[in-house]
Amino acid sequence: MSLNFIQIILIVLVAFLAGMDGILDEFQFHQPLVSCTLIGLVTGNLTAGIILGGSLQMIALGWANIGAAVAPDAALAAVASTIILVLGGQGASTESIGAAIAAAIPLAVAGLFLTMIVRTLAVPIVHMMDAAAEEGNYRKIEALHIGAILLQGLRIAIPAAILCFVPAHTVQSVLESMPAWLSNGMAIGGGMVVAVGYALVLNMMASREVWPFFIIGFVVAAISQLTLIALGGLGIALALIYLKLEKTGGSRGGGNYGDPLDDILNDY
Amino acid sequence: MAENMNGSKRFKLDKSDRTAVAWRSTFIQGSWNYERMQNGGWCYAMIPAIKKLYPDKRDRIQALKRHLEFFNTHPYVASPILGVTLALEEERANGAAVDDVAIQGVKIGMMGPLAGIGDPVFWFTVRPILGALGASLAMSGNILGPIIFFVAWNLIRWGFMVWTQEFGYSAGSRITDDLSGGILKDITEGASILGMFVIAALVQRWVSINFRPRVAEIQLSEGAYIDWANLPEGAAGIRQAIEQSASGMAMDPTRITTLQDNLDQLIPGLAALLLTLFCMWLLKRKVSPIVIILGLFVFGILGYVIGLF
């Protein structure tokens, strides 16, 4: 079926909402269950949208952004595959739902790269926030932050708008022709760039006194049975022991632990 | 306290200020970036409190800069950390000796362990359960599927965020009540110890590098690997293969050792550690984080093409 002007506007709005929530992960507009239903609703294919949403949701149940790692993008997968379903005009038939799901998977991977690009674009945005903070201009910080959210919205809204005008089979063949070196290389790079954030924190916190705790943390983290909560408990215990010893040891911050002469001198 | 500059007037964040912060923390991931992650969203959430606590422009500038530092956790468990930070900032505005390191230390120290609660609870327990419930209704075309999922999720989420932020706020106020005992100094020191410990664990767990090059291929002797061709038919064969695998027999007749295996034998995550130290070194030499990030993507693509990763 073909879409009229108002339907396209509404599709783009839903896509925008899904794109913003794709990064926020709060209201869950980006989850297929919600976004497929909404696209179905605005195009007059409510039932087909709900069924596709339910099917995709089952696939996406375990997709989550953990730490700095980016999960397959449920937002683009859900929005774009519903548009493809609606354009196909077959309604909620088993074949058309199946084809839409098949299209959704490469779209989820494509969306993953788009969100990585926007997350990189956000770096200069926070540098502009730094400059605004320097002037005490909090309104500018607010505007920049909102601007960054809008960019994440456009990340899904633009592909959705394009899809409304492009034949569905063209989209699919383009997605399948994405070279392996690009997608795999980007995934490898994504695994490494996380280190930059940690390096920034370490440069700020590291001092001679606390480096040993970094070493302990690194070594202990290799034991994969320890969850992050367990590691947190261990870290708290270490900190408490250190603080206790520091008080009773007498050589406060001097770094001379185990030097009996120094302890005696300090006691005088 | 003696240094309380304003004497009679005490800065106090009331319920509406705290609700404003809680609502804004909904958008904490909005400017998520590869350099300082949730820092922009964190600052955005703190702005209502900063406006109230620091009428003086210089203090306000300091506060804004302080809250643009690195931060990253599960978006919902940021709420208790915000609560504690609000209490600390309130004390600071009233003249207490809460320095930047103390505030940053509390944030960093809490974010890792709390993310360790938020990720499994919300992403891997509540969402799959509600999602599966909604999806099973939706697959038969029932509109209640998406509605139940959406409403239940947001009730749980918002309830959690408001309650834990208030909890963090009252706990934080209690911490700062007793300043004479040097508790804050202990918290600062303890938090930076915890912070270093947790960051080290995150480097080990979350920075991923996998070197592909093979350094050795060893032909194993007979009996050291599972002889797939001579297993019994059907389930008996599967059972035997699993037993042999559990007794330590290899899957293939040749044992392939990659560069990664060798590095992991020294200590798992060594490459991640070296990469992090290298990034620290570059940053200290004023190389822009953006250049490093783009460089790593290019390096990843080149490394894949030549077969390094």
Average pLDDT across chain A, whole number? 84
Contact between A85 and A97 (Cβ < 8 Å): yes
Q: Does A91 touch chain B (CB under 8 A)?
A: no
For residue A171, the model assigns a pLDDT of: 65
**How far is the C-alpha of A80 from the C-alpha of A138, rounded, in Å?**
37
pLDDT digits (tens, 9 = 90+) for B198-247: 888 888 887 888 888 887 888 877 777 888 778 888 788 888 888 888 77
Instruction: Kindly determine whether residue A228 and residue B115, on different chains, have CB atoms separated by under 8 Å.
Output: yes
Pick from A125-139, A155-169, A236-250, B177-191 the range whose average pLDDT is largest: A125-139
**Dihedrals phi, psi of B181, to nearest 5 degrees:** -75, 5
Residue of A nearest to B57 (CA): A136
Q: Which of A225-234, A242-251, B9-18, B235-244 has the lowest mean pLDDT?
A: A242-251
Check whether A62 has a pLDDT greater than 90. Answer: no
CA atoms of A151 and A105, how far apart (whole Å): 23
Residue A174 is predicted with a pLDDT of 67
Q: Which residue has the higher pLDDT, B180 or A189?
A: A189
B179 — pLDDT class (breaks 50, 70, 90): very low
Residues 247-266 of B with CB under 8 A from A: none
Q: What is the DSSP string of chain B?
A: -TT-TTTT------HHHHHHHHHHGGGTTTT-BTTTBTHHHHHHHHHHHHHHH--SHHHHHHHHHHTTS-B---TTTHHHHHHHHHHHHHHHHTT----HHHHHHHHHHHHHHHHHHHIIIIIIIIHHHHHHHHHHHHTTT-THHHHHHHHHHHHHHHHHHHHHHHHHHHHHHHHHH-TTTTHHHHHHHHHHHHHHHHHHHHHHHH-------EEEEEEPPTTSB--GGGSPSHHHHHHHHHHHHHTT-BSSSEEEEEHHHHHHHH-TTHHHHHHHHHHHHHHHTT--HHHHHHHHHHHHHHHHHTT--
Which of B35, B75, B54 has its CA nearest to residue A126?
B35
Given this model, what pLDDT does residue B178 score? Answer: 53
CB-CB neighbours of B270 under 10 Å = 18
Q: Could you say which of A136, A217, A239 has the minimum Cβ distance to residue B201?
A: A217
Cα dihedral angle (B98, B100, B103, B106), rounded to 10 degrees? -120
* Cβ–Cβ contact A98 with B under 8 A: no
Q: In this prediction, what percent of chain B has a pLDDT beyond 70?
A: 93
Contact B40, A148 (CB under 8 A): yes
Q: What is the mean pLDDT of residues B241-259?
A: 80
pLDDT of residue A178: 67
- Report yes or no: B29 at the A interface, CB cutoff 8 Å: yes
Task: Enter the tokens of residue A82.
Answer: 């519903």
Are the C-beta atoms of residues B78 and B86 closer than 8 Å to each other?
no
Q: Which residues pair with B258 in a beta bridge?
A: B214
Does position B52 have pLDDT exceeding 90, yes or no?
yes
B271 to chain A nearest CA, in Å?
10
With 70 as the cut, is the pLDDT of residue A22 above it?
A: yes
Residue A115 tokens read as 């969100």
All residues of chain A having their beta carbon less than 8 Å from the beta carbon of residue B199 are: 198, 201-202, 205, 214, 217
B153 vs A contacts (CB less than 8 Å): 28
Q: How far apart are CA B192 and CA A199, in angstroms?
A: 15
**Whether the Cβ atoms of residue A198 and residue B207 lie closer than 8 Å to each other:** yes
CA distance B90 to A16: 37
**Among candidates A61, A145, A231 on the partner chain, residue whose Cβ is nearest the Cβ of B31:** A145
Cβ-Cβ contacts under 8 Å, B58 against chain A: 136
What average pLDDT does the segment B15-40 reach?
A: 95
Chain B residues touching residue A51 (CB < 8 angstroms): 138-141
For residue A71, the Cα-to-chain-centroid distance in whole angstroms is 7
Cβ <8 Å between B34 and A120: yes
Mean pLDDT taken over chain B: 86
Residues present in chain A in total: 268
Check CB contact of B62 with chain A, cutoff 8 Å. Answer: no
**Statement: residue B145 has pLDDT above 60:** yes
Closest residue, chain B, to A20 (C-alpha):
B30
Does the beta carbon of A184 lie under 8 angstroms from any beta carbon of chain B? Answer: yes
| Best mutation target, B119, B199, B305, to test chain A (most A CBs within 10 A) | B199
Is the predicted pLDDT of residue B40 greater than 90, yes or no? yes
How far apart are the two ends of chain A, measured CA to CA in Å?
91
Q: Residue A142 is inside which H or E element, if any?
A: helix A138-163
Range B142-163 average pLDDT: 95
For residues B212 and B309, what is the distance between their CA atoms, to the nearest angstrom? Answer: 5
A236-261 pLDDT, tens digit each:
899 899 988 988 865 444 444 444 45
Average pLDDT over every residue of B253-260 = 82
Is the pLDDT at B3 greater than 50, yes or no?
no
- pLDDT higher than threshold 50 for residue B88: yes
Subunit contact A243:B190, Cβ cutoff 8 A: yes
Highest mean pLDDT among A91-100, A159-168, B219-228: A159-168
Give the model's confidence band at A266: pLDDT under 50 very low, under 70 low, under 90 confident, else very high: low
Tell me which residue in A205, A218, A227 faces B192 most closely, judged by beta carbons: A205
Q: At B130, is the pLDDT very low, low, confident or very high (cuts 50, 70, 90)?
A: confident
Q: Kindly report the backbone phi and psi dihedral angles of residue B254, in degrees, each rounded to the nearest multiple of 5, phi listed first.
A: -110, 140
Write down the pLDDT at residue A168. 63
- pLDDT surpassing 80 at residue B174: no
